[in-house]
A and B are shown apart, each in its own frame.
Chain A
């Protein structure tokens, strides 16, 4: 290179400028998409919560009562002076920098719409610092305990509400009969078989259970008197959950502790279920939420206290709720003008309306929950079945090997077909040919299941492939059959990976809109669906419908709130998936 124009020393000089420019150009390219998305998310958050109208005093109050205690908790968990110094420097320096920069831009360049320097500080400095401290804080024992507890509380509420939602569509009376006649005898047989090492009893559990379910469907039309819904939920859901919690604790602790962990939340939940009616809350929903929150929380608290490490972390929920309450009190007493968020309790519990103030997302949320529940079951079963078949049953060479390759190529191609084409499949096959009806929840679930099936299969295959072959050979050497190896060795080992992949794929399904339009899903329904064959709407459908409204309150308020609701659910699902994966990686 340098031979022609070599200088006296024999080496050419190379300009570094081009390389440096290229490096920063590529760095810029890597983050430009993220920055664009970040700015858009900031604006949609501001719109959804009406933060543009939040007074600086209001922001300051909540910053002091909610954010500062949380940051202090994280710093306490880290207990590293260097981190503390760095965070305080970032918070303080960021304050000065953002205020100065923002004022400069506003004065000399352009006015930035709907953004004040306080909000800019909140999003550009306070949120990243909080995220960073949450991350490092969660690695400390105190922080891990605190976030674990908050996660169980939030997750419990979500699961309880989702369970309650499912019973809007599925007949609780059939469930009651199926549980009593099928699940209970089967579980008893299985437990007896394990206890007495009587193989036959365990083997009989599955057919007995199936028989019970069939009998339940048959008897539903015959039996006329049933206990009240609340009793059904206590018997079929609250009691088993409490028993499961009791069993978990009994494995490692005393009987009294186990009974308390199972019994206390159960008693509270039953009492709550009966008293809820007075507060205007449906009793069954209150019972379900209390039990799905209470039992895991009790198990977790018991374990933490038992281990005696990081017990202080259990105070985190109190800190957060207390901070929010104090903030609300101060705002009330001080008379500070508060923003009027579009995304509030009314928004998620009320039906759509033609006026922006009254519009709600409730029917669409219920529709989405029901579809996703069905899609989860279908795509999990089909995805696991296919991936087990491809990985465990099919050879890689020979005639069958080329069939395996054909299936693989086919799955890869299915993953690349546009979703709108899947919508046509649902319309032509499920809705019109098979007669499941236009825009029903069944049609939508089947269509979306096929849509995400390739993604589920591919991730499940990866999870199964990552199970070490030694384990399989070991199981084979013990005389296990192929199914026994799969059931006892491969699937338990691959389960966290499969679950992670399925949840991520469900995240894709919950945001899909085009296939729903093609199968004729309603853009707006005013009541929650009451059966699988009734017309429904889903969150993205409702967002699509509202985005077409010309009024500014819809464009910049109602839709923004819908977008944030959808994104929060997505983040919750993907966060769960990532936590599961991390936990599985730590375990191995």
Chain B
């Protein structure tokens, strides 16, 4: 190496080689750029048609209207999102009533009670719940759950109803809650548990009094993700819930407090935002009509809501995470 002229050309920076390196780097960068472009494209696509829609239908009317009928037989379209929001809310809340407690208990069992063997069997099995196509869940709800509920608990139930659809959405979202919560619970250091046992706590007290509070940020973010998944769920509700956008009848109860009979909402058909989109998509899709543009307005609503929920879930997971 003393004589610089004899040192081998370790770099071999020939033009062809550099070109080759640059080409591959550029190709990979282009692939990565496509992910960014996808987000931009979704936003632009939704916005451009939604803007056209809002020029026809004022945004206040869209957000406060209580009647949704994009293609009525006699004319007189109405684009009020409130009945759709109510339908979405009913499905989401009912599904959350199933998925959140069951998912949390599952996570506690997997992280605190299960033997390593049981965990290695249960975890992949639970993932199956999230892997079944949603149209299959919808079919199950329509063809098996509804008749079973009708025969046993609710004889007055209609063929298309919110309850069976919500049950299936709930079952589908269990693994979302359980897997993220379980990760958070497993991350709680063993010292904390041992300290609890040292103070004389039982396993139950350690699980509910130490592990759950210590991992509460992970659990909360899993809840938000599961709820956002339930909001965007389409095929289960399309197949099993029917497509009737309606406002639930408000009844006057004693003391003059208005209330809504839950049976009126759960056992009857309804319409969510996603169902409304699918229903319009069943018709003319060449563009240019108000119902066509209204799909994009609904999609924008859905996009914004799920995006905000994801960001919140991210912030909770990041900011309130206990560092050990």
Contacts and interface: CB of A to CB of B under 8 A. Distances in A.
Contacts, number: 249
A457 B34 CA distance: 12
B102 A428 contact: no
Interface centre among B110, B232, B307, B311 (most CB of A within 10 A): B232
Interface residues of A, number: 90
A44 B31 contact: no
B133 A566 contact: yes
A2 B200 contact: yes
A563 B278 CA distance: 21
Given A420-B299, A481-B17, A543-B135, A30 B122 contact: yes
Nearest to A482: B21
A559 B139 contact: yes
Interface string A28-64: 0111111011001001100000000000000000000
A566 B277 CA distance: 25
Contacts of B135: 511, 513, 540, 543-544, 547
A482 B175 CA distance: 39
Given A43-B144, A483-B24, A26 B106 contact: yes
Contact of B285 (A382, A438, A547): A438
A515 to B, nearest CB: 9
A29 B128 contact: no
Contact of B281 (A16, A388, A518): A518
Contact of B128 (A37, A428, A453, A486): A37
B306 interface: yes
Contacts of A36: 171
Q: Which one of A22, A44, A410, A420 has the highest number of Cβ atoms from chain B below 10 Å of its Cβ? A: A420
Given A23-B113, A540-B135, A418 B232 contact: yes
A128 interface: no
Contact of A26 (B108, B140, B286): B108
B14 to A, nearest CB: 11
Interface in B259-297: 274, 277-278, 281-282, 285-287, 295-296
A34, A384, A406, most chain B CB atoms within 10 A:
A34
Given A37-B171, A420-B232, A432-B286, A483 B21 contact: yes
A543 B171 contact: no
Given A419-B234, A425-B42, A512-B133, A19 B144 contact: no
A257 interface: no
B254 interface: no
A570 B310 contact: no
A33 B138 contact: no
A420 B277 CA distance: 8
A233 B255 CA distance: 81
Interface residues of B, number: 90
Contact of B45 (A384, A425, A438, A567): A425
Interface string B297-316: 00100110011001100100
Interface in A386-415: 386, 388-390, 392-393, 406-407, 409-414
A566 B136 CA distance: 9
Nearest to B279: A517
A386 B35 contact: yes
A408 to B, nearest CB: 10
Contacts of A517: 278, 281-282
A524 B204 CA distance: 55
A492 interface: no
B136 to A, nearest CB: 5
Nearest to A544: B135
A429 B18 CA distance: 36
A25 interface: yes
Contacts of A138: none
B32 A385 contact: yes
25 contacts: A1-B201, A26-B106, A27-B109, A30-B126, A33-B102, A33-B129, A414-B35, A416-B310, A417-B306, A420-B234, A424-B277, A425-B45, A427-B285, A428-B48, A428-B296, A432-B286, A450-B38, A479-B10, A482-B21, A511-B136, A517-B278, A517-B281, A518-B278, A540-B135, A555-B142
Given A19-B204, A26-B113, A392-B28, 13 more contacts: A1-B199, A32-B102, A409-B314, A416-B225, A418-B302, A420-B302, A421-B302, A424-B277, A428-B296, A453-B38, A511-B133, A519-B285, A559-B139
Interface of B: 10, 12, 17, 20-21, 24-25, 27-32, 34-36, 38-39, 41-42, 45-46, 48-49, 101-102, 105-106, 108-110, 113-114, 122, 125-126, 128-129, 131-136, 138-140, 142-144, 171, 174-175, 178, 199-204, 207-208, 225, 228-229, 231-235, 238-239, 274, 277-278, 281-282, 285-287, 295-296, 299, 302-303, 306-307, 310-311, 314
Closest 3 CB pairs of A and B: A418-B232, A511-B133, A385-B31
Interface of A: 1-2, 14, 16, 18-19, 22-23, 25-27, 29-34, 36-37, 40, 43-44, 381-382, 384-386, 388-390, 392-393, 406-407, 409-414, 416-425, 427-429, 431-433, 438, 450, 453-454, 457, 479, 481-483, 486, 507-508, 510-514, 517-520, 540, 543-544, 547-548, 555-556, 559, 563, 566-567, 570, 574
